[in-house]
Structure 1
């Protein structure tokens, strides 16, 4: 049994988290699936018996990231869904950590853990389990054409099981968020049968159709077989589809209360099944309230039936408000009564799988006292009954009777381990008194365990309370981050005077000219004011290029680095992250970007243990939660003041879905492609290394709140020119405004003045 705590945790939620971890530690769960660095810190320090599994929300997508988790004490990692079989195999065979991959279920358009659309533009965070599913929305182009540009098909890999097994995958994951027990039963039955090699072609199709009647979008194998797979998005229709059962032959009596859909069914159907027909946008669904089997001619009087076998020529009465239905439209069975009967679900009896604590019991009998001492671990409790006890007629049976009484622990959390009876005078104690003694001593032990647990929990809570450290004098330090030198090419000497640091993401720059450009800015502002940022995503085809850049920069004496993914530790210094040696000549200071989320004090402490000297707060956070962090970590925390925040970062090319074909990597678009969502959100698709990044058309900006931030302890602020190409003069103009506390036109504040959900 694995427990998922794979969401980001706010500061004020830490006490509740600690109580939850104490509970799951006590009941003996097999592992905890985590994302938040703070949760990792608390488990490792205070609940070390819990096994750690890395959630796909950690965006582990390469060998370096998997090794980093292994060195942090994780047993298993759930890899990003976007990987190819080759990448999965490399990680599984070389990382030294169990690998889990997704086998079936819904897909996010963005890398999991890197999607901020729902949070930043709709106020409900996908990183906190409250995704508003913006990728399922329709988006309109400038031309007026609408499509479901980002609506992914469901991943389904029944034909890749053998390859995944051969690749060394330890566990196969079926996505089941908000799915029913019926869905779980059908999908697990299907893949269990495939793993066991049981079903033939017809039975395999039957399993698949069962799943599709419960919940299914069209299926895709995503990028397991090829990173160039284009069959990944369903741009025409969104939502549950069903299993195809036929084509519309005709619609009779249209517009009346007796309109009928006529078709030949390819699978058995019955009354109360659900049906759907593809229409532009969302499918039209309706129940089978009246089912009629027709003569083969389609004419004459049909027979009203409860069920119709496969191959029957049938009519189904349509709802009065049915839309226009085209001939030859595909008909789907979207809900099947037969399938519901096929997978029965029985609830276990309460307490059937209860984890019980073993206790040792010692009973001492004297003529006037009966005492029981029960212990579990360090907890011990006593109970005493005063009475008059006489010699027994059969003293040899007393111990067996007493033990039998204390074995009756079914309504408690205990089970009897050791039992001893100290009865030197061979006295007799009635069963009723023994039972009373058992109830009293186990109740006392339960209270003692609860008291000890509460003391431990309160101690952990106290150790993780936010500290309020006296802030230094309000000297504000500015930094600028860019992923393209062209964005900052118009900055002159006077512009750099107020900038304490330039952060350069090296993901987009070629190795050949990178050092030359860095040297130029080094001579302008000083080498000690430049930090090298590793990209958040580095796939296997990009690894050699990144390593080449890192080695070259090390050899040229660059020592200040920034990480945005756990893989960075292995790229920079292939040794345990927990023991990273920041005195190495090529790392004088390591910082982290916002994708290594810090929304609570424990996350900041975990990054500190990993050698991070400064961390960046997340733009999806708000002032209330930020303030608690800034009061303690103001000198170490960087607040992003201006940014084109990446809402989606995806391997699925949005541009190819918009124009209907791939433009080829060498000819891929480099501009901006504007879209408007069904909720009137204006966004822009940009391209970074043939990877789609969706940003808001209006940048995120909280410069109006700088005074409040400074008052709570903020000292470091950052301006980002990333994921978007800026006209150099416009970038300078924005910097001048921000430096003077003025907000550029057309910006938004996301959750800053509200509470992140």
Structure 2
């Protein structure tokens, strides 16, 4: 049976999800959750959540899906041990080092790979499965056919998102919020820069990176047929009424009971100008975007026909009730509806087509008014999970009493518990009746249960205090909840780091997709050039033009590899036969392919190396450390691993990669209709502060957005050398060959001088800093992320 998986940001939302038909819920704790701005659950609330959910046969998954620093690993593992002990059904993780430790220390704990792991191909799924991951949450960018192919060719369970907010970037690969504001999406603190206004090439401002919410409610049968195990609703930041409404509607869709009213309810509870099926059916153009308003639109109520003092006249396009919330479209200016006048009389509601007068001081003639809160829908949603008739779980009971003992047995499915009471006395005047026992035992209203069947076998003439019967009921139900909670034995945690005391002279590595840059870098003394990467349209693609330097050249495969997987694998085999023995790889699935071809693999940014154990999970020549760690954290990581490491010391950081193209979409094209309007050149997004972010497209029509500033740290060579990283990486995007030669030479010279104790700047370094003085950032080297 397919699983409907619902979000819960707090206990009310969890209750709403469970009561309205979820088969499982996913929640975040106050510790290590990728939604730090949700309410989240403290430890006691997690225990209560498990007990409540398990009573309804609903599973509980806890997200521990953030990247973890060395100093956090012990606490995170102890937290995971607490979750395991508490009966949590599975843990959802992002960090590959943490995954390694989990499988070593808590091998029986079910692990799900978060969508933050950016798994976008079959080999990635299968490789994680081989590492002990039971379920993989696929990247939201995959099409139905791609999902089906993966489902049919893996033993892993596959989970996909079916409803809710979309990230425009491949999850787990976004550094936009982190680099411009210090709030990391990989650490649960995304500032949502994709919901801000930008202009493209100096054109009109719009919410060019803001997608509509996903909905698949009309296509659930297709996803089930494809073999998806779990259908996931996004929304741990949403209110419980949203959870109740969306979960109940999808429950009906799965059970073939959906109607038009359910679709309308979903639209009313939250939408951003409608919905999108995103990439499910290869739909990747402007129709999936919410360019005008990134927030909840609600439903159109009508235009202001006239203004009467502080009141407005509207001809309604939708029903209006007292208590509804209304807003001037796109402004955020709204009011609650406290009075409605129709035909001069005050009314409680009005229908579509009615002309009404309502208070709205800030509105003016011609304004578009939207209903952003439907009070009747909110009331119905709340009633579903806190009303008098909420769903309860049937249990069976058997009460037996004689002069020697009182026994209450209760049973739910195959789970049975017994509770013994004190021996009763003979009644002097009024014996306890069978009816009284049934009445007392049936008072289960503060629990998830009701007695579907209750047997009472009593010896005649007994007097059993009602308080004792009540206590037996409470005790038995508590014991049943204990058993259903499925607590595990506590596990002791002990982490052993591998100390690394080596002192090395770092090698200079260059990342590029251009032949002229590669040649200039080698001429300037680069020790290795990683060539290819994202296969950007602005780059040359033929690595064979560098075959005479093959001892210093390694093919470079990026973090996103989907439809091109088989072709790239074949290309990798050809290059191996021509003598290329090393490769840089950012994709978990393609790593597996490269190892099968017997490459020595360097790990790129896609692996999000955040701690010492992340270096060691995948066999590698060296691993690129995350851009989000500061000097102190990098040093700690390197000192505690025997593996080789790389740090990035120059270049424009790639902030995001998307299967959506803002260049073509802004002109009204989707992937099928676009005549390559990107013109093989770099375009720019301009934000409200005037910063210009380069965008380059690749040959698969994905867009790559880069930081407006370059990371340049030539004046901090002493600090960088103290890290003892094996490679310093220089990334080139739009620099010309002359600049590349100077930059590589400057870093080589700085290393050579630095190891002799000379940390003064050369004239070449001074020239580079001066030329880029208005375009420099230190990245996270001196700030890091929370």
Deviation at 1:740, TM superposition (A): 3.6
Structure 1 residues 272, 639: CA separation in 2 closer, same or farther (over 3 Å shift)? same
Listed one character per residue, the Cα deviations across residues 440-474 of structure 1 (whole Å, up to 9, x for unaligned) are xx9xxxxxxx9x95xx53xx34x24x5543222x4
User: Does the aligned pair in 1 maintain the 2:285–2:668 contact within 8 Å?
Assistant: no
Q: Does structure 1 residue 120 correspond to structure 2 residue 179?
A: yes
Structure 1 residues 395, 513: CA separation in 2 closer, same or farther (over 3 Å shift)? closer
Q: Which residue of 2 aligns with 1:317?
A: 359
**Structure showing greater Rg:** 1
Deviation at 1:122, TM superposition (A): 0.8
Q: Which residue of 1 aligns with 2:561?
A: 538
User: Does the aligned pair in 2 maintain the 1:534–1:562 contact within 8 Å?
Assistant: yes
In structure 2, list runs of 5 or more residues that go unmatched: 1-59, 393-401, 409-417, 424-467, 469-474, 480-486, 751-764
Deviation at 1:503, TM superposition (A): 1.5
Q: Does structure 1 residue 235 correspond to structure 2 residue 291?
A: yes
User: Does the aligned pair in 1 maintain the 2:406–2:420 contact within 8 Å?
Assistant: no
2:531 equivalent among 498, 504, 509:
504
Q: Does structure 1 residue 587 correspond to structure 2 residue 598?
A: yes
Cα distance in 1, alignment partners of residues 240 and 291 from structure 2: 29
Q: Does structure 1 residue 749 correspond to structure 2 residue 771?
A: no
Q: Which residue of 2 aligns with 1:343?
A: 381
1:711 equivalent among 702, 722, 741:
722
Q: Which residue of 1 aligns with 2:516?
A: 486
Q: Does structure 1 residue 550 correspond to structure 2 residue 609?
A: no
User: Does the aligned pair in 1 maintain the 2:518–2:531 contact within 8 Å?
Assistant: no
Cα distance in 2, alignment partners of residues 68 and 700 from structure 1: 33
Q: How does 1:162-181 map to 2 (within 5 A)?
A: 162-181=221-240
Aligned-residue CA RMSD in angstroms? Answer: 3.4
1:732 equivalent among 735, 741, 753:
741
Deviation at 1:667, TM superposition (A): 5.2
Deviation at 1:570, TM superposition (A): 3.2
Cα distance in 2, alignment partners of residues 290 and 210 from structure 1: 21
Deviation at 1:600, TM superposition (A): 1.5
Deviation at 1:634, TM superposition (A): 7.5
3-state SS of 2:527 partner: strand
Cα distance in 2, alignment partners of residues 590 and 501 from structure 1: 13
1:332 equivalent among 337, 350, 370:
370
Structure 1 residues 187, 153: CA separation in 2 closer, same or farther (over 3 Å shift)? same
TM-score with structure 2 setting the length:
0.74
Q: Does structure 1 residue 684 correspond to structure 2 residue 694?
A: yes
Cα distance in 2, alignment partners of residues 154 and 399 from structure 1: 54
3-state SS of 2:716 partner: helix
Cα distance in 1, alignment partners of residues 365 and 736 from structure 2: 51
Structure 1 residues 249, 397: CA separation in 2 closer, same or farther (over 3 Å shift)? closer
Count of residues in correspondence between the two structures: 625
3-state SS of 2:97 partner: helix
Q: Which residue of 1 aligns with 2:420?
A: 404
- Following TM superposition, the consecutive aligned residue runs of length 4 or more in structure 1 with deviations greater than 4 angstroms are 345-348, 394-400, 509-513
Q: Does structure 1 residue 702 correspond to structure 2 residue 713?
A: yes
User: Does the aligned pair in 2 maintain the 1:53–1:78 contact within 8 Å?
Assistant: yes
3-state SS of 2:136 partner: strand
3-state SS of 1:172 partner: strand
Q: Does structure 1 residue 629 correspond to structure 2 residue 631?
A: no
Q: Does structure 1 residue 616 correspond to structure 2 residue 671?
A: no
Q: Does structure 1 residue 262 correspond to structure 2 residue 314?
A: yes
Listed one character per residue, the Cα deviations across residues 79-112 of structure 1 (whole Å, up to 9, x for unaligned) are 1111111111111111222111111111111111
Cα distance in 1, alignment partners of residues 578 and 183 from structure 2: 45
Q: Which residue of 2 aligns with 1:578?
A: none
User: Does the aligned pair in 1 maintain the 2:121–2:561 contact within 8 Å?
Assistant: yes
Q: Which residue of 1 aligns with 2:335?
A: 286
Deviation at 1:146, TM superposition (A): 1.1
User: Does the aligned pair in 2 maintain the 1:488–1:732 contact within 8 Å?
Assistant: no
Q: Which residue of 2 aligns with 1:517?
A: 545
Q: How does 1:42-441 map to 2 (within 5 A)?
A: 42-143=101-202, 145-201=204-260, 203-212=261-270, 216-244=272-300, 246-248=301-303, 250-253=305-308, 256=309, 258-267=310-319, 269-279=320-330, 282-294=331-343, 302-319=344-361, 322-326=362-366, 329=368, 331-344=369-382, 346=385, 404=420
Listed one character per residue, the Cα deviations across residues 421-443 of structure 1 (whole Å, up to 9, x for unaligned) are xxxxxxxxxx9xxxxxx9xxx9x
Cα distance in 1, alignment partners of residues 176 and 536 from structure 2: 27
TM-score with structure 1 setting the length:
0.76
In structure 1, list runs of 5 or more residues that go unmatched: 295-301, 354-393, 408-430, 432-437, 443-449, 575-585
Q: Which residue of 1 aligns with 2:454?
A: none
User: Does the aligned pair in 2 maintain the 1:119–1:620 contact within 8 Å?
Assistant: yes
Structure 1 residues 470, 489: CA separation in 2 closer, same or farther (over 3 Å shift)? closer
Q: Does structure 1 residue 564 correspond to structure 2 residue 586?
A: yes
User: Does the aligned pair in 2 maintain the 1:241–1:283 contact within 8 Å?
Assistant: no
2:506 equivalent among 476, 479, 487:
476
Deviation at 1:644, TM superposition (A): 1.7
3-state SS of 1:684 partner: strand
Structure 1 residues 217, 737: CA separation in 2 closer, same or farther (over 3 Å shift)? farther
Cα distance in 2, alignment partners of residues 234 and 512 from structure 1: 35
User: Does the aligned pair in 1 maintain the 2:531–2:556 contact within 8 Å?
Assistant: yes
Cα distance in 1, alignment partners of residues 230 and 573 from structure 2: 35
3-state SS of 1:342 partner: helix
Cα distance in 2, alignment partners of residues 271 and 509 from structure 1: 55
Deviation at 1:311, TM superposition (A): 4.2
Cα distance in 2, alignment partners of residues 13 and 727 from structure 1: 42
